[in-house]
Structure 1
Amino acid sequence: MLPVLVNVSFADCTPFPALSTETHALALAYWARVGLRGAHCIETFLREWDANAALLKRISDDPATADAIETRGAPLSSFRMHAPVAPRQVYCTIGNYRSQLLQAALDADGGPDGPGAAARRAALLDSIETRRREGAPYICLKGPACVAGPNDLLPVSRDLTTLDWEVEIGVVIGKSAVHVRAEDALACVAGYCVVNDITLRERIFRRDAPALGADWLQSKARPGWLPAGPWMVPAWHIADAQQLGLWLRLNGSSMQEGVASDMIFSIGEQIAYLSNFTRLEPGDLICTGTPAGLGTHHGRYLRPGDVLEAGIDGLGVQRVTCVEV
């Protein structure tokens, strides 16, 4: 396993960035002498990504690094894992996987075997292609306070009866981006991580103001509703993020499985679109959409005691336990 970036702590100390192999981790401060900036704080380190990237790549590529992590570091199991990102802004792309939109369309009005299913399928596929040609990504904001660690407890009160999961590829920005083109956008990426965009389905649309559209504050923005990690993989380790496979299990049972090539708008296109309306800054996080298999489809939402495992090829696996509050 090539070294990846983690954010860890032990004995209630302040979290610090480290390089990790599959079994051990060693603080980035060990390599501070080579000129890394912000080596004691993940937020500062990522905001200085443009200056740090080349140095980190050189460290990662050095065969001596893995040996140093194993011999001078500590077992990964001895640390508490925190989110490997500390974004100032979090963006979430909505309805961006063909499989998820198609599944939702077929689940409606009598189900996939009900009357009119073939027509619903054809209409949905046609609308997707029209949107692909003429439309743009649909992106909302999610507060940075939502970001949680990859193994944190997820509070679920009994009144949250439609709390749902969404495994997604998290894209961490490494270079400021304004009006970038889609074909150039991946040069702005620092790395990738697993995220789970926890969403309360019953609050997406307000009963007291249905004409105002989606309420992303009530439905997505509570603290802890974006587990991230376990680590961030630098972009140079990922040959093609659009080929990454995503999956999610609930209590060991498969709920979601998909491939990023199913996105309607690619990662580069999402970055380009955002950069036309806002300035993307180093450390910002983009959650790029989720494949089919939501709780809405399965008729099963999160309850206290549930264990959610979410993983992406090469980006690790997070394990979140739901607890009653």
Structure 2
Amino acid sequence: MLATTNTTTAMLPVLVNVSFAHCTPFPALSTETHALALAYWAPVGLRGVDCVGTFLHEWDANAALLKQISDDPATADAIAKHGMPLSSFRMHAPVAPRQVYCTIGNYRSQLLQAALDADDGPDGPGAAGRRTALLNSVETRRRDGAPYICLKGPACVSGPNDLLPVSRDLKTLDWEVEIGVVIGQSAVGVRAEDALECIAGYCVVNDITLRERVFRQDAPALGTDWLQSKSRPGWLPAGPWMVPAWNIADAQQIRLWLRLNGSMMQDGVASDMIFSISEQIAYLSNFTRLEPGDLICTGTPAGLGTHYGRYLRPGDVLEAGIDGLGSQRLTCIEV
């Protein structure tokens, strides 16, 4: 089923970005089976209906009208009557961000798993001490620190069902299912208590990362290299759709999961974040200007390839999903 709130099973229209017969992608409203171009509602005042980037950039003008359209029972009937089967379209990323921000090390479970895997392993004599030290450091960071956020190039955004090229020289290509937050209004210096008002919607993202390039061997003193490790084309599958923020009762309570060839690798809940979505937005907005359509990838739970000692290779099928936000399916191919 498509978009639901956290407390209801009612089907609600979602924003998709689709194409067919090699046409230019266009935004549409979709139900479980069909999609209808936003251009259908242009006469009632929606702006930028021919391009998802333009539509999101005009979110301030579009949001109230889109909510009215989505809430209208006649909308589902119009999509079924005048739209086309969703299966007849190619799905593209539901966002076209100007900037992409990725929050690093933001789930307690993932940091704890990494700490336990280190040195003598989770069953070794040093594991208890590492657990205590990690939990103490997380609480200190939570109290006195701030989110750690990097940039990821917008050119790496790809569709939810695209092929993922994996060359043989990429030995440590890893996955990270995350809640993607799409900004709906310009934000500078917002407070955490007001930050949720800046959100247009949410989507599934998978922050593909090459672990061996996170730290440069030729310049170890310079720290992390997010260009080499995160920003190649195709390394941020997004979608399949964007769910408007008003249809998600509490994004901090939703579940994230990822399967590799049918086996569950990640299974977490957003309440495990060290810094909440609203705190991440507030932090970012104090150092940069967030613009409509910008995308924030908010961190990933435990279960990375690093933990399993198993990374992506040609032939793998990677499924990533978030309750209420849909799921994506990537097939890794050799290049």
Which of the numbers 313, 318, 330 marks the counterpart of 1:303? 313
State how far apart, in whole Å, the 2-side matches of 1:220 and 1:14 are: 27
Matching residue of 1:119: 129
Opposite residue 257 of structure 1, the aligned amino acid is D
Over the aligned positions, Cα root-mean-square deviation in angstroms equals 0.3
Which of the numbers 174, 179, 186 marks the counterpart of 1:169? 179
Query: Pairwise mapping of residues 36-55 of structure 1 onto structure 2 (< 5 A)?
Result: 36-55=46-65
Any idea what SS the aligned residue of 1:46 has?
helix
State how far apart, in whole Å, the 1-side matches of 2:31 and 2:125 are: 53
State how far apart, in whole Å, the 1-side matches of 2:44 and 2:72 are: 13
Opposite residue 204 of structure 1, the aligned amino acid is V
Following superposition, the deviation at residue 115 of structure 1 comes to 1.5
State how far apart, in whole Å, the 1-side matches of 2:106 and 2:32 are: 32
Which of the numbers 211, 230, 244 marks the counterpart of 2:221? 211
Matching residue of 2:206: 196
Query: Pairwise mapping of residues 138-157 of structure 1 onto structure 2 (< 5 A)?
Result: 138-157=148-167
Q: Does 1:234 align with 2:244?
A: yes
State how far apart, in whole Å, the 2-side matches of 1:23 and 1:316 are: 13
State how far apart, in whole Å, the 2-side matches of 1:35 and 1:24 are: 22
Matching residue of 1:8: 18
Regions of 4+ moved over 4 Å: none
State how far apart, in whole Å, the 2-side matches of 1:177 and 1:302 are: 37
Matching residue of 2:116: 106
Matching residue of 2:274: 264
Q: Give the TM-score, by structure 2 length.
A: 0.97
Matching residue of 1:292: 302
Identity %: 88
Q: Does 1:89 align with 2:99?
A: yes
Any idea what SS the aligned residue of 2:165 has?
strand
Matching residue of 2:7: none
Matching residue of 2:37: 27
Opposite residue 165 of structure 1, the aligned amino acid is W
- Cα deviation 1:119-176 (Å, max 9, x = unaligned): 1000000000000000000000000001000000000000000000000000000000
State how far apart, in whole Å, the 2-side matches of 1:70 and 1:252 are: 32
State how far apart, in whole Å, the 1-side matches of 2:204 and 2:229 are: 20
- Cα deviation 1:67-109 (Å, max 9, x = unaligned): 1111110000000000000000000000000000000000001
Any idea what SS the aligned residue of 2:319 has?
strand
Matching residue of 2:290: 280
Any idea what SS the aligned residue of 1:91 has?
strand
State how far apart, in whole Å, the 1-side matches of 2:80 and 2:252 are: 32
Opposite residue 96 of structure 1, the aligned amino acid is N
Q: Give the TM-score, by structure 1 length.
A: 1.00
- Cα deviation 1:206-225 (Å, max 9, x = unaligned): 00000100000000010000
State how far apart, in whole Å, the 1-side matches of 2:138 and 2:227 are: 27
Q: Does 1:67 align with 2:90?
A: no
Matching residue of 1:250: 260
Matching residue of 2:5: none
Q: Does 1:319 align with 2:335?
A: no
State how far apart, in whole Å, the 2-side matches of 1:110 and 1:48 are: 53
State how far apart, in whole Å, the 1-side matches of 2:155 and 2:331 are: 19
Any idea what SS the aligned residue of 1:19 has?
strand
- Cα deviation 1:244-303 (Å, max 9, x = unaligned): 100000000000000000000000000000000000000000000000000000110000
Gaps of 5+ in 1: none
Opposite residue 157 of structure 1, the aligned amino acid is S
State how far apart, in whole Å, the 2-side matches of 1:41 and 1:258 are: 33
State how far apart, in whole Å, the 2-side matches of 1:240 and 1:308 are: 27
